[in-house]
Homo-oligomer: A and B are copies of this chain.
Amino acid sequence: MPAAGPTARLRRLGIEACQQPVAYLRGDSAVCKSEGFGSRSRLELWHGGRCVTATLNVLLHGAGLALLEPDEIGLSEAAWRALGAADGAALRLRHAAPPPSFSAVRGKIHGRPFGADAAARIVGDVAAGRYADIELAALVAACSGQRLDAAETAALSSAMVDAGQRLRWDAPVVADKHCVGGLPGNRTTLLVVPIVAACGVLIPKTSSRAITSPAGTADTMETLAPVALDLPALRRVLEREGGCVAWGGTMALSPVDDMLIRVERPLGLDSDGLMVASILSKKVAAGATHVLIDMPVGRTAKVRSPEEAGALARRLSAVARHFGLKLAVQLTDGAQPVGRGIGPALEARDVLAVLRGEPGAPDDLRRRALLLAGGVLELAGRAAPGAGLALAAATLAGGAAWTKFQAICAAQGGMREPPRARYTRAVCAAHAGTVVAVDNRVLARVARLAGAPGAPAAGLEFHAPLGTPVAVGQPLLTLHAESPGELAYALAYAESQDNLVTIAASA
C-alpha cells in the first residue's frame, strides 16, 4: 500500500458496470483536480493490503454529480467486491501505470513469441486485475488463430496454475474429463461423473460456466444442485461421494482463465493455445492425474476437421507431458447437437431422463456418455482395455449411477427441480423433406438470444436431428424464454437463418 497520496471515502453505488471495476469521482473534487485524474484514467484503489485497478468515470453535472460528496469515491459492484471494504472507509488513490507485462503482448502482436518469464508476468498482471478490458481483448486476439506455439502454451498453463489455488488429493489416481466444447447439448459430464464415481474412481470435477455456448456444465448442474462450493465443501463432497460437479470459479483454480473468458465470450474468439492452457491449467490445479478429452469434430463444431483435431490433440498431449499428466483424446461426432435440450434447465432434463432410464431418453446422449465414462475407467486402470464401456453401461443400467448422482447433489447442498421457461414458441419447417445438415453455431446463438445461460430455463428444444423426415409446418425446434423480448429476438434471428436446419426435398 502506498505510504502517501490522496485519499477519498468509499461509497458503494450499487451500479453493475459489466462486471468491470469502475470508480466514480466528481470532476470538481480536489482529488480529481490536484492529481490530474481525467476521464480516461486508470486508478489504483488501496484499502488495507488490498488493491483494485479501476477505470475512472467522472461525474460532471446533474444527477451524476449529485451522487457523491466531493471527498467521496464511488465504486461499481465489481470494484466494491474486489476491495471488500465498507462505506466510509478511506481509500488511497493513485494513477495506475499500464501493466508492465503488456509490452510482451505488444511484442507478441508484432510477431515475437513470449517466454516463460513474460507468460508469468502477463498472467500475474491479469490475475491482479491490472489489465483493462481492451488490453484483455488485445491479448486474446494476439493469442487466437494458432498463434501460440507449444512452449508458449506450456508457459501460460504453468503460470495460470501458479496464479491460483492448487488442490491435492490423497489418492494415486484422480480422474477428470473435459469436452473442448462447441457442441450444443453435449452434457455428458453429468453422466460420466456419477458412473465413474460409482465405480470407485475419484473424480473431483470442476467445470466452467458457459464460454460461447448457451450452457456450461456448471450452469446445467446448477439447475439441479448448488455448484458454488468452496474448497472445504468440495473436500467434504469428495470424501463422502468420490465425485462432484462444482463450478471452478469459486475455488480460484486458474482464475485468469475466467477473466479471459469474460472477454473471449462477447468477442466469440478462441485460441488453440489459450484453450489448451485453460483446460490443462484447470485440470492440474484441480489435482487430476488422468484426463480424458472429449473432442467433437464436425463442420460447425469448435474443431472442424480431423486435421484440426490431430493438431489440437498433439498440443494437448505435449503440454500434458510437461505436467506429468496422463491424457487421452476421444474424437466424437460433432455434426449435430446432442440430446434434445439446449440451455441449462433443458439439458438437465435430458440428463435426468438418461439417469432414470426413462423411455424416450435421448439415446445419443446416453451412448456418448457411456463411451466417455468407459474411456475414463480404462485410462484410470479401473477397467481393462476394451472393457470400460461394458462396465459403464452396467453401472448406468443397474441404477448405481442415478443413486450416486442423487447422493452427489445432496452432498453439494440438495437436489432440486430444473425451472421451466414462461414463454415458448415453435419454429417450424417451411418445406417438406429430410434434414441433411444442422448448423451448431447458429443453433447455439438462437439459444443464447433466447436468454441462455443467464436465464437458466431459457434455450431451445431441438426436434430435427439429421435424417429426420419433416412435413411443412412441423416444429424443428421450440424456443424457451423468460421474457417476450428475448423470445421475439431469438425467433427473428432463427427465422432469418437459412442454414439453421437444411432440409433436402425427398426424391
A27 CA to B14 CA, complexed, in Å = 10
Question: A13-27, CB under 8 A of B: which get 1 and which 0?
Answer: 111111100001001
Collect the chain B residues with CB atoms within 8 Å of residue A381's CB. Answer: none
A136 CA to B39 CA, complexed, in Å = 19
The smallest C-beta distance from A2 to any residue of chain B, in angstroms, reads 11
Does the CB pair B137–A60 fall under 8 Å?
Answer: no
Cβ of A67 within 8 Å of any chain B Cβ, yes or no, is: yes
Copies of this chain, complex-wide, total 2
The smallest C-beta distance from A101 to any residue of chain B, in angstroms, reads 13
In the complex, the chain B residue whose C-beta lies closest to that of A486 is B36
Within 8 A of B (CB), among A95-117: 95, 97-98, 102, 106, 109-111
Cβ of A482 within 8 Å of any chain B Cβ, yes or no, is: yes
Question: A131-167, CB under 8 A of B: which get 1 and which 0?
Answer: 0111111101110111000000000000000000000
A157 CA to B106 CA, complexed, in Å = 24
Collect the chain B residues with CB atoms within 8 Å of residue A6's CB. Answer: 485
With A16-B27, A483-B34, A485-B36 known as contacts, the answer to whether A134 contacts B62 (CB < 8 A) is no
Question: A33-64, CB under 8 A of B: which get 1 and which 0?
Answer: 11111111000000000000001111111111
Question: A61-91, CB under 8 A of B: which get 1 and which 0?
Answer: 1111101100000101100000000000000
The smallest C-beta distance from A312 to any residue of chain B, in angstroms, reads 14
A296 CA to B98 CA, complexed, in Å = 26
A134 CA to B136 CA, complexed, in Å = 8
Does the CB pair B451–A36 fall under 8 Å?
Answer: yes
Does the CB pair A40–B13 fall under 8 Å?
Answer: no
Interface residues on A, range: 35 or more
One of A242-250, A265-273, A472-480 at the interface: A265-273
Residue from the list B37, B133, B141, B484 in contact with A142, Cβ < 8 A: B141
The smallest C-beta distance from A436 to any residue of chain B, in angstroms, reads 24
Collect the chain B residues with CB atoms within 8 Å of residue A454's CB. Answer: 36, 38
Does the CB pair B95–A489 fall under 8 Å?
Answer: yes
Cβ of A455 within 8 Å of any chain B Cβ, yes or no, is: yes
Does the CB pair B484–A34 fall under 8 Å?
Answer: yes
With A60-B77, A485-B34, A485-B35 known as contacts, the answer to whether A106 contacts B268 (CB < 8 A) is yes
Does the CB pair B61–A14 fall under 8 Å?
Answer: yes
In the complex, the chain B residue whose C-beta lies closest to that of A483 is B36
Cβ of A197 within 8 Å of any chain B Cβ, yes or no, is: no
Collect the chain B residues with CB atoms within 8 Å of residue A55's CB. Answer: 18
Cβ of A130 within 8 Å of any chain B Cβ, yes or no, is: no
Question: In the complex, which of the residues A12, A17, A138, A449 has the most CB atoms of chain B within 10 Å of its own CB atom?
Answer: A138
Collect the chain B residues with CB atoms within 8 Å of residue A483's CB. Answer: 33-36
Within 8 A of B (CB), among A473-501: 481-486, 489, 493
Does the CB pair A39–B60 fall under 8 Å?
Answer: no
With A59-B14, A134-B137 known as contacts, the answer to whether A19 contacts B35 (CB < 8 A) is no
Collect the chain B residues with CB atoms within 8 Å of residue A371's CB. Answer: none
Cβ of A315 within 8 Å of any chain B Cβ, yes or no, is: no
A356 CA to B74 CA, complexed, in Å = 50
In the complex, the chain B residue whose C-beta lies closest to that of A450 is B36
Within 8 A of B (CB), among A433-491: 449, 451, 454-455, 481-486, 489
Does the CB pair A144–B60 fall under 8 Å?
Answer: no
Collect the chain B residues with CB atoms within 8 Å of residue A349's CB. Answer: none
Cβ of A327 within 8 Å of any chain B Cβ, yes or no, is: no
Does the CB pair A14–B110 fall under 8 Å?
Answer: no
Cβ of A302 within 8 Å of any chain B Cβ, yes or no, is: no
Question: In the complex, which of the residues A5, A37, A62, A68 has the most CB atoms of chain B within 10 Å of its own CB atom?
Answer: A62
Collect the chain B residues with CB atoms within 8 Å of residue A263's CB. Answer: 134
Cβ of A404 within 8 Å of any chain B Cβ, yes or no, is: no
A185 CA to B135 CA, complexed, in Å = 28
In the complex, the chain B residue whose C-beta lies closest to that of A31 is B485
Interface residues of A (CB under 8 A from B): 5-6, 11-19, 24, 27, 33-40, 55-65, 67-68, 74, 76-77, 94-95, 97-98, 102, 106, 109-111, 132-138, 140-142, 144-146, 263, 266-269, 449, 451, 454-455, 481-486, 489, 493
5 contacts between A and B (CB under 8 A): A14-B62, A18-B39, A63-B67, A63-B74, A102-B267
